[in-house]
Amino acid sequence: MKVSLVLLSLAISVSAQQHVFETEPPGTAFHHPIRRVAVVGAGPAGLQAAANLIEHNFTVRLFERAPHPGGNWIYSEETPVRESYPYAYANKLRDEPAGHAAEIPAQLPVTRYYSEGDNGLTLDERWTEHWQPRPVWDSLHTNSPKVSTELPDVQYAPDTPWVLSTHTIQRHVRSFASHHCLNSNDYCPASVSAPPVTAYSTRVEKVEKDDSTHTWVLTLRRLERLYESDRILAEWWTETFDAVVLAAGPYTAPHVPEIDGIVNWSKAKVGAQYSMYHSQTYRHPERYADKTVLIVGASVSASEIARDIGPFASRIIASIRPPKDSTEMRQRSLLRFPNITEFVPEIAFFEPLEKHNEGIRNGKIHLINGTVLQGIDEIILATGYRSHPLYPHNSTSRVPEKIHWTGHYIPDPTLAYTLGRPWVLGRYQSYGFAKVWAGTARLPSEEVKLPPTPDDRRRNWRSMWLGEAIIRRYVSWLNGASLEHGGRFVEPPPIENVELLNYYAVVHFLNINRDCQTTMDLDGLGGLGISTLANQLTGKDPWDALVFEDDDW
């Protein structure tokens, strides 16, 4: 607690002294110069943001709820505890700051100790609820090639295959963290008295603007497992910043469909094992041996998990709904299901179970076409994720509105979001945050207007965030600003990378079709033949190659 109080008073004294710019303001005008910056999230995006801000001599604090850097790519045998995410609640998370506002004690700072079973939670449940172990499974491989899944400054070994294992990416992201002294066991203070940059196992619960001081107040919660005394130490405190980067990622919380009866079914167990759970808890295929598994969803998690358990399960049933719009990526996912998959329509409702300790084999699942499914052993909800923007917490959209293409929040550009593919865009975006806040770049004034309708917006964002267009825009903006106000120059990705992406896209698609195990009729998928698919991909923006990112990001 001492540390945080010191930080707080330091921040206040700095902001009290500085009310005017020291130099002719070339950049966007702020109430006072930006000195202290918080970064929320130590995934590929947040780590790059922190590294760029440190390079620009800001006082940086990097907060990460997980015990290590890596973001989505931390592989762990731990899984999020289902019971702490009752289904009705999981969807509500986005409406509440970090979903746990009610748990923030009234008086801060405060320290509490928890023992096994306190408030009905085991220590493991308390721990995994805090950091939500990531939705990557042991055999997961990328659906993007390494040329577009690589961070700057550290390189994959030349013999690393194009398709990367989750374990390889984990090491890669952690190498980047260590390279910049941001790993969980690194400590490279600028001076003896400087506070540490990183705070792992520290979840940002709230991000609020203090209108009187024009600073951001972050409410933080850190957990520490005390193995010797078999307890968990929880600390809550606040820290104050001049600017904040929200790099919490697009997949912060599970999306669970609101199907009638799903809450009732979510309690069903066999022994200690739940019978229905979200795909974020999937790790290994072995326990599906000789089981009948129902997978809900038609996207990447659904098809890849089906593929993983295919050699083990006795039956795989996939409940899919008609596509909202027919994309090549959806078709790709459908082709990836193993050939034993039986496709059924969407679920209408789950008939309430009589007991919760006998699993779901006798339960009845009503499909929208009137058919009733029975005899299912396990249900995997591969129904996707929700982002959790933290702020503005009453925003109804998943991507906050009023965001500049640089990621800055337009009404208050001391707040910025990381957007798009961090592997490709993060280096430019982070540099942009640093330059705008250091006063060596103006927020570009053009393109501030967002497209009129949400649909237009989505389309526009998708092409902008993923494509070459945005890279060109960054390069010209950043280099123009550096020419005028100083700073290093940036380059677009080397042309051979674009060629590699094109090549990969075609070869990969041909391979999928060759290995295609599905009994589904290819022509039934919108009449697209192999060559048509390949042509479509080469015709598209290559940076988009085979990455099925959430439309909104």
Ligand X SMILES: NC(=O)c1ccc[n+]([C@@H]2O[C@H](COP(=O)([O-])OP(=O)(O)OC[C@H]3O[C@@H](n4cnc5c(N)ncnc54)[C@H](OP(=O)(O)O)[C@@H]3O)[C@@H](O)[C@H]2O)c1
Ligand Y SMILES: Cc1cc2nc3c(=O)[nH]c(=O)nc-3n(C[C@H](O)[C@H](O)[C@H](O)COP(=O)(O)OP(=O)(O)OC[C@H]3O[C@@H](n4cnc5c(N)ncnc54)[C@H](O)[C@@H]3O)c2cc1C
Q: What is the nearest approach in angstroms of ligand Y to the Cβ of residue 456?
A: 24
| Residue 344 binds ligand NAG (CB under 6 A) | yes
Binding-site member from 92, 141, 355, 459 for ligand NAG (CB under 6 A): 355
| Residue 526 binds ligand X (CB under 6 A) | no
Binding to ligand X, residues 118-147 (CB under 6 A): 140-143
DSSP for 186-239, written as a single string: ----SSTTPPPSEETTEEEEEEEEETTTTEEEEEEEEEEEETTTTEEEEEEEEE
| Residue 198 binds ligand X (CB under 6 A) | no
Binding to ligand X, residues 270-289 (CB under 6 A): 279
Q: Which is nearer to ligand NAG, 154 or 344 (CB)?
A: 344
Q: What is the nearest approach in angstroms of ligand NAG to the Cβ of residue 291?
A: 18
Binding to ligand Y, residues 49-78 (CB under 6 A): 63-66, 71-73
| Residue 201 binds ligand Y (CB under 6 A) | no
Letters for 46-65 (x = contact with ligand NAG by CB under 6 A, - = none) are ----------xx--------
Binding to ligand X, residues 332-361 (CB under 6 A): 346
| Residue 394 binds ligand NAG (CB under 6 A) | yes
Buried b (16+ CB within 10 A) or exposed e, 32-41: bbbbbbbbbb
Residue 275 near residue 268, CB atoms below 8 Å? yes
- Distance (Å, rounded) from C-alpha 537 to C-alpha 516? 18
Name the binder of 321 from ligand NAG, ligand X, ligand Y, none, CB < 5-8 A by kind.
Answer: ligand X
- The 3-state secondary structure of 345-414 reads CCEEEECCCCCCCCCCCCCCEEECCCCEECCCCEEEECCCEECCCCCCCCCCCCCCCCECCCCEECCCCC
Q: What is the nearest approach in angstroms of ligand Y to the Cβ of residue 54?
A: 17
Q: What is the nearest approach in angstroms of ligand Y to the Cβ of residue 252?
A: 5
Letters for 12-51 (x = contact with ligand NAG by CB under 6 A, - = none) are ----------------------------------------
Count, residues in the chain: 553
Binding to ligand NAG, residues 261-280 (CB under 6 A): 264
Binding to ligand NAG, residues 515-544 (CB under 6 A): 517, 519
Helix (H, G, I), strand (E, B) or coil at 147: helix
Residue at shortest CB range from ligand X: 384
Q: Which is nearer to ligand Y, 350 or 553 (CB)?
A: 553
Residue 293 near residue 378, CB atoms below 8 Å? yes
- Distance (Å, rounded) from C-alpha 79 to C-alpha 135? 8
Residue 94 near residue 253, CB atoms below 8 Å? yes
Binding-site member from 4, 52, 252, 319 for ligand X (CB under 6 A): 319
Name the binder of 319 from ligand X, ligand Y, ligand NAG, none, CB < 5-8 A by kind.
Answer: ligand X
- Distance (Å, rounded) from C-alpha 553 to C-alpha 544? 12
The amino acid that residue 92 corresponds to is K
Name the binder of 384 from ligand NAG, ligand X, ligand Y, none, CB < 5-8 A by kind.
Answer: ligand X
Closest alpha carbon to 314 in 277, 284, 333, 287: 287
Q: What is the nearest approach in angstroms of ligand X to the Cβ of residue 235?
A: 33
| Choices 115-123, 284-292, 351-359, 500-508; region in contact with ligand NAG by CB under 6 A | 351-359
Residue 222 near residue 195, CB atoms below 8 Å? no
DSSP for 471-498, written as a single string: HHHHHHHHHHHHHHH------PPPHHHH
CA distances from 497 to 424, 473, 492, 493, 544 (A): 11, 18, 10, 7, 13
Give me 41's structure tokens: 């999230």
| Choices 22-30, 231-239, 492-500, 545-553; region in contact with ligand X by CB under 6 A | 545-553
Binding-site member from 35, 356, 398, 458 for ligand NAG (CB under 6 A): 356
Q: What is the nearest approach in angstroms of ligand Y to the Cβ of residue 243?
A: 17
| Residue 199 binds ligand X (CB under 6 A) | no
| Residue 413 binds ligand Y (CB under 6 A) | no
At residue 277's C-alpha, the angle toward residues 274 and 280, to 5°, is 130
Pairing of strands 276-278, 378-381: parallel
Q: Which is nearer to ligand NAG, 72 or 395 (CB)?
A: 395
| Residue 511 binds ligand NAG (CB under 6 A) | no
- Distance (Å, rounded) from C-alpha 194 to C-alpha 196? 6
Give me 109's structure tokens: 């700072």
On the 0-12 / 13-18 / 19+ scale of CB atoms within 10 A, 329 is: middle
Name the binder of 399 from ligand X, ligand NAG, ligand Y, none, CB < 5-8 A by kind.
Answer: none
Binding to ligand X, residues 284-313 (CB under 6 A): 296-302, 304
| Residue 552 binds ligand X (CB under 6 A) | no
- Distance (Å, rounded) from C-alpha 414 to C-alpha 443? 11
Cis upstream peptide for 257 (omega within 30°): no
- Distance (Å, rounded) from C-alpha 386 to C-alpha 199? 24
Which residues of the chain form contacts with ligand Y (CB under 6 A)?
40-46, 63-66, 71-73, 98, 135-136, 142-144, 149, 203-204, 247-252, 301, 418, 422-423, 547
Which residues of the chain form contacts with ligand X (CB under 6 A)?
140-143, 257, 259, 279, 296-302, 304, 319, 321, 324, 346, 382-385, 548-550
